[in-house]
Chains A and B, each alone.
Chain A
Amino acid sequence: GAGVSQTPSNKVTEKGKYVELRCDPISGHTALYWYRQSLGQGPEFLIYFQGTGAADDSGLPNDRFFAVRPEGSVSTLKIQRTERGDSAVYLCASSPDREVGANVLTFGAGSRLTVL
């Protein structure tokens, strides 16, 4: 597609529920990233995919968070047993994965998650 698409744009859920957030990257971009952004803060890295595999998942806060990218394109971020502290904007980005120092990210508009 022309840009990075994220759905839903807004999600309100109750504490303890399961949530899925979807990201459709720019066509042909091999690298995909998930970030989380709280109010007044910069994006915080969660996980990075190179193709279908998670190349770096060191930013996932705990085992309630999981992400997949089964066909190397669309990715889903899954959050189990949501907590109020999970409330944030979840940003997805993709890149053509250039060499180090030239890796520019294109972000989606984000999915705003509110856990009541």
Chain B
Amino acid sequence: SQKIEQNSEALNIQEGKTATLTCNYTNYSPAYLQWYRQDPGRGPVFLLLIRENEKEKRKERLKVTFDTTLKQSLFHITASQPADSATYLCAQDTGRRALTFGSGTRLQVQP
């Protein structure tokens, strides 16, 4: 069955550094991945979408890369700020419309 794997351990980094989060997705083609941010007590909020034929996508300080050989997506936040502290969810769209989510990685940016 479909399974999206994210590092369940929290990631702690210092303000100003680059945070890198990993998502391993299932062997479904074509692959489409989405990244969401979730704050405590809130629903997930869409950040970025990347398609299989795209190697990289950027939005302000955010960057997502796609490695179809490794079946892996990396999510980067450059010049991180304490306000970036949240849980980041990776989700895969396999064409059934409903997204399959990973368990998320909690990011804590220390001032």
Contacts and interface: CB of A to CB of B under 8 A. Distances in A.
A85 interface: no
Given A42-B104, A43-B89, A107 B43 contact: yes
B51 A56 contact: no
Contacts of B101: 35, 42-44
Interface in A76-104: 91, 93, 97, 100-104
Contact of A100 (B8, B32, B34, B46): B32
A109 B102 CA distance: 19
A103 B46 CA distance: 11
Contacts of B93: 100-101, 103
B98 A110 contact: no
Interface in B38-59: 41-46, 49, 51
Interface in A19-68: 31, 33, 35, 40-45, 48, 50, 55-56, 59
Contacts of B91: 42
Interface of B: 4, 6, 8, 30, 32, 34, 41-46, 49, 51, 89, 91, 93, 95-104
Given A31-B97, A42-B101, A105-B99, 20 more contacts: A4-B43, A40-B8, A40-B103, A42-B4, A42-B89, A42-B103, A43-B101, A48-B96, A56-B96, A56-B98, A101-B32, A101-B49, A104-B49, A105-B44, A106-B46, A107-B44, A107-B45, A109-B42, A110-B41, A110-B42
5 contacts: A48-B97, A55-B97, A91-B44, A100-B32, A110-B41
